[in-house]
Amino acid sequence: MQDITLLSQIILYVLLALIGLFILLIAFWQYKVLKGEAMTAPDGSSDDWHEQKTHYGIAVADLFLACPAGLIGIVLVFVSPRWGFYLLALVSFWFLWANIMGTATSLRFENPKLTLSWWIVFPTGSIVGLLYILWTVVHFETIYF
């Protein structure tokens, strides 16, 4: 980490904070889905696993895989940086893929009003995931070798 410029370190810490906040948002939302609550999404759709079983599977994957891995990755960046960077790269790929899928599905099938809430819930995760992946590509040699 000493070889990374101050600006790059600041960008990393901002990305870590955004990933952490996004993980908390996902965990809160998916916990409610697992409890059986029908959650109205910002695009007007409903996340109700009684109607669509895939929502239950996504909630389980988020709560028991992506969220813990993301939190452990953030901690590992400070304790054992290389392992933290590896784990966060995987979590960022999950954010990128899952949120592109959610955004595309929302636009295709729900025809949403593109409110601030919609932007925060759907495309933000993919943007944060992509930015972290790009950060690791730029600093690949420094953080992995």
Reading the chain (145 residues) residue by residue, the pLDDT tens digits are 678 899 999 999 999 999 999 999 889 888 887 887 776 776 677 766 666 666 677 888 889 999 999 999 999 999 999 999 999 999 999 989 888 887 887 777 777 777 787 787 778 889 999 999 999 999 999 988 8
Residues whose CB falls within 8 Å of the CB of residue 4, separated by 6 or more in sequence, listed in order:
12, 139, 142, 143
Strand partners of residue 40:
46
Q: Give the Cα separation of 98 and 1 in Å (integer).
A: 29
